Amino acid sequence: MTSTTIPEPVPTATPAAGDLIRTAGHHLQLAIDNLLGLQAKSGYWCAELEGDSILQSEYILLKWIIGEENHPDLPWIANYLRTQQRASDGAWVQYPGAQPDISATVKGYFALKLMGDKPDAPHMAKARELILKLGGAEKCNSFTKFYFAALGQINYTAVPSIPPELVYLPKWFYFHLDKVSAWTRTMITPLAIVTSRKVMRKAPLREEQGIAELFVSQRDRHRLLPGEGKPRSWSTVFLSLDKILKLVDLAGMTPLRKRALKRIENWIVSHTANSAGLGAIFPPMVYIHIALGDLGYKRDHPVLVEAEKHLDDLKIRDEANKQIRIQPCFSPVWDTGIAAYALTDAGLASDTDAMRRCTQWLLAKECKIVGDWAANAKYKVEPSGWFFEYDNQFYPDVDDTAMVAMALQCIGGAEAEAAAHRGAKWLLALQNDDGGWAAFDRGAQSRQILEYVPFADHNAIQDPSCADITGRTLECLSHLGYRIDHPAVKEALVFLRSKQDPAGCWFGRWGINYIYGTWQAVCGLQLIGQDMKAEWVQKAGRWLRGAQKPDGSFGETADTYEDPSLKGQGPSTASQTAWGTMGMMAIFGPDDPGVQAGVAWLCKTQLPSGTWQEDWFTGTGFPKVFYLRYHLYKLYFPLMCIGRWRRLMAEAKA
């Protein structure tokens, strides 16, 4: 077995830099040892992926809807849900330090009430007081109201219509399933069954189990209300359309309904194949139980047995505290791709046992079937790409594919490099007409009106091109020999320039926030061959300098999605310090004092175990709706940063 020890520090003419190189080498080795110790025997990495309280509350509500309120895990899930309530105001929130979230708080209250918590208990009274202060349960989003209606707390008149007949809309129509994001597709198909069939729990809840006390207006309780922050004109249009759809439904004027439901059912069942659950993410993995159950699927049906297993797999048991917390999905391909790429930056040899096992595991996860992406691809291309989870063959995504492809290329070897090039060709076929790349699909963007549809209040009905994914894709293409004169690269550069914030930074769609977006953009620019002395790039560097704290660290809160004036501000974190430092490194080089200050901060704050402390959420699911804490971000990104800095210092002194 080849040694996993990193190379010795290189000589340097600057004593201070030489000291930091030696210090960084020690801390880098600690990080490498820690990361390798977390690798699974089969070669992958997968850390906990932490979401917010709705994972627990919605699971409890699901079990009550389908009549499994005596499921043995529910008391332990409720125990954990109680710990997530904020003591100061009674709220359940989207991330630490966030403003109260009305939907999360109502669901938390409802779930605990069903589990036996008394309404006059102090924690329940505090939550109820807050809910009423925020306008009542009628202010919850549509994805919360589906649960309320299925449990008999509101009429389906207050729930947005999702007519199953939408599956028959022609491709040229403004709304089409191929024109919405992949995650929306997997969410609204089962919910179309739920709303059209008006699914209800078979045994109605007793009055004292309900949440009538959480509604300010009993009239508004049963009405579909305008969406928060939506233009009044479009809200009026869509609310009127929803009334028409409900009247048509009430009159039975739906001759295609039975066929449409069957078509959706077949689509759902087919998309559970080669996947760790429908879409391999929590919301549709929940909805499928409600939808198929109402269509007559028994709990012992193979599809639902498999679906139950996938939900159970997301549970993390804390035996000591008798608690269960639930993850929104798994992130093994993402974690493994980033870990591998970081280790190559750190100089770990490709012929080590760890890297060989990692390579073989990633190669086995390459997609080999034609998924939903093919509907909008630029041209016919050989199936390839990588997904995020353990198995999700219908939905490889651009971000994971870029990450894995460049990791495999950096590791090297004929088989790995061939797979990386297949991935790159697949990426090029998914480039949007605006020059950027989106997460899953090409062409599921530029239809702003869809954001105003009543069931679109998850703030992500489309899948637009974004700077962070475009930057990473350029970074990937650079490792595979593509350069700035390639037509696709030229288009991507135009896109990135068009999306640069006036302050010089870039918005981060999939990580928090402007630090993440700027890091991804400038690293891609630097490696693809962009002149980093260009004024627009230097402007990004100046923004990063301004965001860096005097101690060398970076930090930014998810509050920036609500208030962009806060961009670049927040508690210091290891992952964001690594991003900011690598962004400055791409623009100013490894000798820059700010870069070295960032590296020094990472060294200073490393724990003896080799990792870092990071309690804040730095990952983004749906901006303004759902955020994530990746438990490996605090390790592999600082490792990547320190390793890259030492490598670039060595190259500069060679």
State in Å, rounded, how far the first CA of the chain is from the last one.
28
Q: Do domains 15-48+330-653 and 52-218+252-326 have the same CATH topology?
A: yes
Stretch 602-613: mean pLDDT? 97
- Give the Cα separation of 325 and 315 in Å (integer): 6
Q: Residue range 628-653: average pLDDT?
A: 95
Tokens standing for residue 433: 């007409």
DSSP per position, 420-483: HHHHHHHHHHT--TTS---SS-SS--S-GGGGGSGGGTTS-SS----HHHHHHHHHHHHHTT--
Tokens of 27: 């801390």
CA gap 289, 285 in Å, rounded: 7
User: Looking at residue 453, what is its pLDDT?
Assistant: 77
Torsions phi, psi for 627 (to 5 deg): -130, 165
Q: Assign 544 a pLDDT band (cuts: 50, 70, 90).
A: very high
Q: Inform me whether the pLDDT recorded for 588 exceeds 50.
A: yes
Query: What is the per-residue pLDDT for 16?
Result: 63
Greater confidence (252 vs 492) lies with 492
C-alpha distances in Å from residue 112, one per residue of 59, 70, 79, 89, 468: 12, 14, 9, 17, 39
The CATH number corresponding to 15-48+330-653 among 3.60.15.10, 1.50.10.20, 3.30.465.10, 1.20.58.220 equals 1.50.10.20
% of residues, the chain, pLDDT over 70: 97
Count of H-run helices and E-run strands, the chain = 23, 5
Mean pLDDT of 169-174: 88
pLDDT in tens, 230-244: 777 777 887 888 888
Question: Does the pLDDT value for residue 33 go beyond 60?
Answer: yes
**Tokens at 397, concatenated:** 């995504």
Confidence category of residue 654, pLDDT binned at 50, 70, 90? low
Mean pLDDT of 303-314: 96
For residue 360, the one-letter residue type is Q
Q: How far apart are CA 304 and CA 308, in angstroms?
A: 6
Confidence class for position 175, pLDDT limits 50, 70, 90: confident
Indicate the pLDDT class of residue 88, thresholds 50, 70 and 90.
very high
Mean pLDDT computed over 614-618 = 96
How far are the Cα atoms of 180, 182, 398, 476, 640 from residue 442, in angstroms, in the given order? Answer: 10, 10, 10, 18, 30
User: Of residues 52, 399, 400, 441, which has the active-site annotation?
Assistant: 399
pLDDT in tens, 395-421: 999 999 999 999 999 999 999 999 999
pLDDT per position as a tens digit, 447-491: 787 777 777 676 688 899 999 999 999 999 999 999 999 999 999
Q: Do the Cβ atoms of 467 and 525 come closer than 8 Å? A: no
Average pLDDT over residues 273-280: 92
* CA-based max dimension of the chain: 84
Residue 1 has a pLDDT of: 39
Instruction: Tell me the pTM.
Output: 0.94
Q: How far apart are CA 374 and CA 382, in angstroms?
A: 10
pLDDT tens digits, residue range 323-366?
Answer: 999 999 999 999 999 999 999 999 988 889 999 999 999 999 99
Q: Residue ranges per domain, the chain?
A: 15-48+330-653, 52-218+252-326
pLDDT at 128 over 70: yes
Residue 555: the pLDDT is: 98
Residue 449 pLDDT: 77
C-alpha closest to that of 28 among 410, 347, 359, 358: 347
CATH of domain 52-218+252-326: 1.50.10.20
Q: Is 399 considered catalytic here?
A: yes
Q: At 93, list the tokens.
A: 């929130």
